Structure formats: structure tokens, C-alpha cells
Amino acid sequence: MSRNKAGSAQHQGFNGFESALAAQEKVDLRILPSPFSSEHGRVLLCEGADASPADLRRSLLDDSYDKPFIFEDGEVRYLYFSLHHIQSSMQIDQPDRLDLRYTQKMMAFLLFNPNPKNLLLFGLGGGSLTKFCYRHLPRTRIRAIEIDPNVIAMRDRFQIPPNDERLEIIEDDAAHYIDIAAPGIDALLIDAFDRHGIAPALTQRDFLETCLEKLSPSGVLIMNIADEKGKCADLIALARSVFDERIIVLPVEEDGNQILFAFRNPQFWPRWRWLESQAKALKTRFGLDFPHFLNKMERSVKRDLMARANQAQPSMKKNFTHSMADPF
């Protein structure tokens, strides 16, 4: 059982934890002892009482189980879409904390808009981003779109708040919802994976073009991209075309993912020196390492500009070199 994103879990105190929560279990989640010999804990499945425990254990072990499932060890609760990859990770005593590094880096959009009014998420998962934004952005309207009802059924296990005037969890296809969404989205966060990877419909030009149209004038699209079979470079190139070069790619060294930031504002250019003070203030406000994120972003942009300059005609290199300087 892989921990390729969240690291090795700790297993102390599970029995006491299990007893304390026994009365709180949802009847729609089937609970089984961990079938994994090296992982002590339990799994929670969206299965009825008539499902065979032996068949469920077998399908978990051979990775043929085709629904999301929860594994928990008393300290950490994980959401898996397949046996080898963690979709979400939650510290049970800190449910609103962003536990996976890529989720922290997705929040770097706050460098460019620290007070979004309208936030849309595609992909709920364990609700890490949804919960963090709900807690730390009290004036922001948040909608999270999730296509899989089994994921939504697990929301209580990940302590996602109930729907209210600020938060709405909606069961829908992201490719459909973006067509009917009202314009004026300040931040559009896309972390929409299943056991096979990112949904193909979300990697198409028409989808990205519609996203661009629905952003507010200063809006930003943020997408978690896993480099599966070389698709990452193709998707980044497509976004660069749709957003007319206004993108920043932030690598996530811990798991090989990359976070794509794409900006609607035609005049967008990062004011790096000004953003340094913004990053320090945001670190104090949100508890995330925004100065580190900013440093990685600046290095990524300048590295990208240099690579493109080296590929350009000699007459163009002067313009690329000039672009690397902070204009402010």
C-alpha cells in the first residue's frame, strides 16, 4: 500500500480511537480491518451489509476495487482512488490543516488575490482545499463540484462543513458545470482525479477556453497536474496557448506533480519585489510558506523565459532577456 504522497503513517493509539468513534459511524460506510499486512488500521467502504468481506478484501489487495475508499490508522485518515495513490490526507486532530504539499502550493494563488469573493473548486476529494478556504476566507463564497457520489458520501468522515450560505457541495460533472457557471470566478481550483488520472474532458482546449471566459478580470485558474505518460507537458503547452503565455508552473518535488497557475488579466506580470512583502504577510495570516512558494515561482518563470530565449531567433533574444527583469 503506497504512501507516495503523504509519507509513512503512524499507527499508535488506533484501538482507543476506534472505540471512541464507534457510535459515530455512518451506516452507509462498511468498516473492515485493514487487509494490508504492513498497515495497521481499518478501511471504510461505500458498501452495504450484503457485500462479502472476503471479496472486498481481495479486490482491495489486487487493486480491482473500483470505488474510492478510506484508510485510517488512528492519527491520519486517507482517501484513496486506487491502491497506489493517495488523493487526500487528513490529520484527525487537525482536520482543517493542508496535509499534502501540493494542496499547500495550490493556495499560492492568494499571492495574486488574497481576498477572493467567488471561489470554485472542481474535485472535492477529502475536502482539504474546501475546508481550508472555508475556515480562512470567511468572506468568500465557495462551491465545490464533485462527480462521484461516493466521494460526497464520505464528506462527514473528513469533517467537511455542511452546506450553508457560504459553502455548497454540488454533484455534477465539471465539464458540464463550467458551461452553466456564472462569470466572475476569482479563483478556479482544479484537482479532479479518479483512479485513472485527470478527467480527459478537463484537458481539452474548449474546456480551458470556457474557464478563461468565466474568470473575473483578475481571476486565476489553478490546476494540479500529475505527469502521467507525458501528458503534463502537453497540458501546460495548451494552457500557455489559451491564456496567451500568462501562466506560471510551480513544481511539487515531493510527489512529482506540477501546479499550473493561469491568469486572465491581459496585463498580468508578477511584481516579484512587491510580492515578497505580500508573501510574508500571507505566511502570518495563513500559516503556509508563501515566501518559499514565491521563490519557486520566480525561479520557474525565469527558467522558462531563458529556455524560450535559447530557442528563439537571435533578434528575439534581447526581448526575452528584458522580460526577465522585474519591471517594478
Q: Which positions are annotated as active-site residues?
A: 191
∠ CA 151-191-282, nearest 5°, is 115
Edge-to-edge strands, sheet with 76-82:
30-33, 42-45, 69-72, 76-82, 85-91
- Residues in CB range of 246: below 8 A, 6 or more apart: 262, 263, 264, 265, 266, 268
How far CA 154 is from CA of 5, 68, 130, in Å, comes to 20, 9, 14
d(CA 307, CA 268): 20
**Contacts for 89 with CB less than 8 Å, ≥ 6 apart:** 5, 6, 76, 77, 78, 79, 99, 100, 126, 128
Distance CA 233, CA 213 (A): 23
Cα pseudo-dihedral 269, 275, 276, 279, rounded to 10: -130
Place of cell 482539504: 128
Q: How far apart are CA 69 and CA 121, in angstroms?
A: 21
Residue 286 in grid coordinates: 495563513
Helix, strand, or coil here: 87?
A: strand
The label of the residue with cell 463540484 reads 145
Strands 118-122 and 30-33: unpaired
Encode 23-41: b = buried (16+ Cβ within 10 Å), e = exposed.
Answer: eeeeeebbebebbeeebeb
Distance CA 213, CA 181 (A): 10
